[in-house]
A and B are shown apart, each in its own frame.
Chain A
Amino acid sequence: MREASVALDARGVSVEIDGRQILADASIRVFSGEIVALIGPNGAGKSTLLAALTGDQTRSRGTIEIAGRPLDDWKLKELSQQRAVLLQENGVFFPFTVEQVVEMGRAPWQRTPLDHDDEEAVDEAIRLTDIERFRHRQVPSLSGGERARSAFARVLAQRTGILLLDEPTAALDLRHQEDVLRLARERAQTGDAVIVVLHDLNLAAAYADRIALLSSGRIVAQGSPREVLTVERISDVYAQPVEVITHPETGATIILPVRATARFRTALPRKASS
């Protein structure tokens, strides 16, 4: 294995919008070859942190370095050769086909020696994301999940060393959720750094090397899934009692909300009779 280097380094990043602190003093360092998941309840600041890391969101304090160089010193074009970003909104204004949208992922490499790989990169991304069936269809006619996979293919085709993914699994069915994270895993194994915002704690537990848990604009815990995903911490941050179970065969961490199933069942007939 090649030596891991720091792909992205954020120190003390704060974001204020209209005088309100959305993100406070967030520090996170991501090495090449690892997947870091950002988790936390709605409004905790996950997407804001990701937007700050991409440069979309102006920060009020803090420094961000991409591949050892301050974010603001990068030219947009060079930056787009370093890192690809998948956003939550994947709408396309005009009836471009899926294939054309994936080809747009190659734009950063135009007029570089790597633009010979364009066709191969596009075909590979389309194959990996399982969108071959509708590669010639127009994006606006697709379902939300199909659009999301097309956008993910575009990001893969960009072939950058850093991937920033904002809830890539949100619109997807079970199988394609696994696909997306498996592909992220494969990219990490070849040395890429992946930062991914996730809602599904079990996916985060299964695929992330490290997890950063956000709550009310702060990173409240950072570490391996086992370290971060404890009963007390998750129950507290999400204000929802959970159980953490270890899968009997694989040893995987599984988080389940406490649903008080038994009581619910006995309560039902009584409610019906009242």
Chain B
Amino acid sequence: MTAVDDATRTDRPSPESSADPLPRTVTARRRVLLITGLALALAVMALVSAGTGQLYVSPAEVFGSIMHAVGLDLGPLPAHPNGESALWTIRFPRVAMSIVIGAALAAAGLLMQAVFGNPLADPGVIGVSSGAALGASATIVFGWAFFGEWTIAVAAFITGLAATFVVYFMSRSGGKTEVVTLVLTGIAVNAFTGAGLALMTFLGDQAAREQIVFWQLGSLNGSRWQQFWIVLPLIVVGVVVAFVISRRLDLLSLGERSARHLGVNVEGLRIVAIVVTALLVAAAVSFAGIIAFVGLVIPHLMRMIIGPAHRPLLVASVLGGALLLLTADLVARTAVPMADLPIGMLTSLVGGPFFFWLLRRARRSAGGWG
């Protein structure tokens, strides 16, 4: 920070000094640093997480196991006789699931925030996650199998999409959504989907009930490769589409009329963003249940570091979301010996207070619940 010249000192915030956080080169450097850092941290964390548990495998051995699997004679293989099978049948699917689901939730949160013009939007808070869970639980209770192994994901997508559209049409005015409206709409949608889930719990047999409760808590316990291969393409498609539309999302921040005057088909863009959001959330919820606040916390933190431009923000958020959920899952399965804590509980434990803080700040900065 530079000293302020007496001659230029006025009542307004001084231009050249304190409030000048992000010149172009600084921003670019920060982006590169953040994205590289997150990618490295994610890789290291994946090795550590895969090796940690009742049967310990060192990160080097985990690395070696992966390298040998892809045909490279690099690094040591797990010394423990069951190490290899523990990694490939239990740990790796779970690590892979936590990475893609974390990425999906963060990307979905970012998209919602852009569409609603409100940085407090999150699939869990708004009720899209529970909407998707409703579809998924109905599939279990009624034993639907229209689309084979994809049925759960398809049903979650349909109800999740319906929930998103409800919120979208209920809560917007003039191209943006006020905080109060957003939160209240979330309460309404969550109440409705909660009733639906309660009905499913009532109708379902013992096994279905357990499954529904598990959804409401959110957990990656029992992740299998088969689930991963269902979820992965959905999430890849979602993130790629989000990346493609990311520059237009920037223009949306100017308001819908100004965005249109800059050549953006606003309604079309919104529909695409909403469908992609529902797709990402459905993919995440189908096999991991409701994991709230990842989509709120991660884009927010990333925006604080590298600013609001959506393209770099999406890349950073995808990496950050993956890292967060990977770490949270490691905590979930190792914090209490012999127990697997619900990961949704952990993210809400951290995300709840964070949301609270954001709400307070939004109220203060807007002089009300703007």
Contact = CB atoms under 8 A, between A and B. Distances in A.
A4 interface: no
Contacts of A264: none
Interface residues of B, number: 33
A105 interface: yes
Contacts of B262: 80, 104-105, 107-108, 158
A38 interface: no
Contacts, number: 87
Nearest to A155: B261
Interface in B1-42: 12-13, 15-16, 19-24
A136 B118 contact: no
A249 interface: no
Given A87-B257, A136-B21, A95 B303 contact: yes
A54 B254 contact: no
Interface string A75-99: 0111111011101010111111101
Interface string B217-253: 0000000000000000000000000000001001111
B217 to A, nearest CB: 33
Contact of A85 (B250, B251, B258, B303): B258
Interface residue SS majority, chain B: loop
Nearest to B260: A76
Contacts of A250: none
B255 A136 contact: no
Contacts of B255: 87, 89, 91, 93
B195 to A, nearest CB: 33
A56 B256 CA distance: 10
B362 to A, nearest CB: 12
Nearest to A51: B257
Contacts of B252: 93
Nearest to B175: A93
B53 interface: no
A141 interface: yes
Contacts of B23: 136
B367 interface: no
A65 B106 CA distance: 44
B117 interface: yes
B258 A96 contact: no
Contacts of B308: 94-96
Contacts of A77: 263
Contact of B307 (A97, A105, A107, A143): A97
B263 A76 contact: yes
B19 to A, nearest CB: 6
B174 to A, nearest CB: 8
Interface in B114-146: 117-119
Given A94-B119, A136-B21, A141 B251 contact: no
Given A76-B264, A85-B258, A101-B254, A133 B118 contact: no
A56 B257 contact: yes
Contacts of A80: 261-263
A81 B262 CA distance: 8
A91 B252 CA distance: 11
A85 B303 CA distance: 28
A177 interface: no
A92 to B, nearest CB: 5
Nearest to B250: A104
7 contacts: A55-B260, A87-B255, A93-B252, A96-B308, A100-B307, A136-B24, A154-B254
Across the A-B interface, the 4 shortest Cβ-Cβ residue pairs? A80-B263, A94-B308, A77-B263, A133-B15
Given A80-B261, A93-B117, A136-B21, 17 more contacts: A80-B262, A81-B263, A83-B261, A92-B254, A93-B252, A93-B255, A94-B253, A95-B307, A96-B309, A104-B250, A105-B262, A107-B247, A107-B251, A107-B264, A133-B15, A136-B20, A158-B262
Interface of A: 54-56, 76-81, 83-85, 87, 89, 91-97, 99-101, 104-105, 107-108, 110, 133-134, 136-138, 141, 143, 154, 158
